[in-house]
Structure 1
């Protein structure tokens, strides 16, 4: 088992064990296993752990092709998955859009305030005045009854077909720079153009996430492919670490989403 763990970070061991339990359940019960919504890093781990296993396969679905958060379906090799097996519901939020502007954090906060785990719903998308989100079907009736306000705005939900999910418009800036180390505070300082003295308390106060998980250690070592988010500063991704310069500094390429 150690040979499997060595490919991942130490803090990911618990999730890896969960994936192995899911796989074992499929093998022993000869039936599919549907997970809650997983972030992209968790999806990557699931795919790596399941791999090309001859007895168990895995597929992901989050509404449409370009969704970020998706449910995973692990299933026996003879099973043919359909979209219906992922049990997804798409809602459009109806509100007085001529007078009110809703923000992502407001919608997310309103959903969380209902006592729903983040893993029960997927992407939240905005397109002009249209607000949509996808959720696990098992909570859809509860949401229709209880999701009535976002901030001070009165809202209602209208169910839509999954193929009506608004496309995601992603605009990012690519930046190439060099850093003295791959520590989180060093990388964060370079990415967001703020001093290490300023980003260090953000990290220790739990305002920084790496791969959608809060990291409170300034010395946490970043890797290629890591997604960073700093509250109030946005999200970025370390897309490449291109070795060292003659001055022994790491040359990195990262994307910063606008």
Structure 2
């Protein structure tokens, strides 16, 4: 197997090692493995690692077609999982809509505040009024019985059938940009049409996250399926590197998400 580490960042090494353990378990023991919810960058890493194993295949599911966070089902090549094998449940948040407003950040903060790890929770979605989220089936009963408030808003969680999934108002918009490098500050400036100086200031002030982790390094080099979010702005995802121009600049395909946060 080639040195897979050379294609990724140093801080991703631990996750790569974990993925190798999953792959070897499936390959040597012929037993499937179901991952927790993974973000797009983690999904990309798993797919890159599993590509080294001819007898291991990946199926993915996040609860609905456009899911961002997904569980991956690693299995011997002859095995085809069913939807129930992903063990994902859907919950709706009932709250007094006329008197209160919820947000993605407040809901996620409440879920994390209950002691649940982020990788146990999938996407949080809204149609502008109703709110739902996906979670591992194993923790749903705990959530239903332990969460009755989001901030100071009284709520009730109810497990909901997949047939009642709302249509999220969040939509990814495709956008092509040309950049001089894959540095974080350069890509942000191009994606949001502001100066490199403003981009650096946002990063240094702790307002920028890469794959949901805060960073203060404007020189961080981005990779495929990195998700970058700026407090107060929309979110972007690096979809693909399309090649170079005649002047050696880089063509990028981005996804831009206008999310209620």
TM-score category (smaller protein): 0.7 to 0.9
Unmatched tracts of structure 2, length 5 or more: none
Provide the aligned length of Structure 1 versus Structure 2: 257
Greater mean deviation of Cα atoms: 117-126 or 215-224:
215-224
Q: Which is worse superposed, 159-168 or 62-71?
A: 159-168
Aligned to 2:12: 12
- 1:169-217 deviation per Cα after TM superposition (whole angstroms, max 9, x unaligned): 3445555554443321122123223333333243245432334444332
Please list every run of 5 or more consecutive structure 1 residues that lacks an aligned counterpart in the other structure. none
Q: Any idea what the Cα deviations from partners look like across 1:66-95, whole Å, max 9, x if unmatched?
A: 211111121233433122211111001111
Q: Could you give the per-residue CA deviations for residues 222-245 of structure 1, whole angstroms, max 9, x where no partner exists?
A: 346543211222202344555245
List 4+ stretches of structure 1 deviating above 6 A. Answer: none
Matches within 5 A, 1:44-63: 44-51=44-51, 53-63=53-63
Q: 1:66 touches 1:168 (CA, 8 Å); kept in 2?
A: no
> Counterparts of 1:218 and 1:101 in 2: how far apart (Å)?
34
Distance 1:224-1:128 versus aligned 2 partners, 3 A rule: closer
Structure 1 window deviating more from structure 2 (180-189 vs 60-69): it is 180-189
User: How high is the TM-score relative to the length of structure 2?
Assistant: 0.86
Counterpart for residue 82 of structure 2: 82
**Contact 2:128/2:169 (8 A) holds in 1:** no
* Counterpart contact for 1:245–1:251, Cα < 8 Å: no
How far 1:101 moved relative to its partner?
1.7
1:115-194 to 2 correspondences below 5 Å? 115-171=115-171, 177-194=177-194
User: Which secondary structure state, in structure 1, belongs to the residue aligned with residue 34 of structure 2?
Assistant: strand
> CA separation in 2, counterparts of 1:93 and 1:225?
30
Relative to 1, partners in 2 of residues 1:89 and 1:215: Cα closer, same or farther, differing over 3 Å?
A: same
